Structure 1
């Protein structure tokens, strides 16, 4: 299966919204581009405050874990700039979400063999 930028954005928003909403984090607006990594900018609301968020990351899937790897990013509010993963660690406490160095992994059982980026598309190999 090959997904373009719009399809990846739709899938990420569909998958992340219920999880983020559980922690009162709401995606107000987002933009996504696929290059060597996935690049994302978003306007996010948390506890009635609006933040600008930017990130780059790679996606992976191994051993029942959806991985957001090589994450770089920041959350901006007024004059403050926080590291994205540091901010997420403080806001989200979930047994299915594991943080490790510059990555986070979500435990979920999906029929995926492999995820990779090729020609500005996200390619998904499904298990047979």
Structure 2
């Protein structure tokens, strides 16, 4: 009987540890990014469905729809926008740490890279 209880305890602990390794990013995030000396703030509302990510990001310039992925504690999303009539593709790649995401951002058409931080709104 003790052996059975010990095995159940070990299995349940392993399941809980696995669950903690997966990020959940659904919610409203305050995102600050810096690319080539340009600072920008936006509010992104992210919706996670399994490993798929969707939602919107709102800044002073526009509201855009995002698509992305969540794998373990890694998150990535992309959206299309424009600047002075030219198309832009913005790619985010980050790591979730509780209520924060830190990572890099790339403006594909200009090969401009920068950093971003996101904090979950309460």
* Interval of TM-score (by shorter of Structure 1 and Structure 2): 0.3 to 0.5
Structure showing greater radius of gyration is 2
Q: TM-score, normalised on structure 2?
A: 0.45
Q: TM-score, normalised on structure 1?
A: 0.43
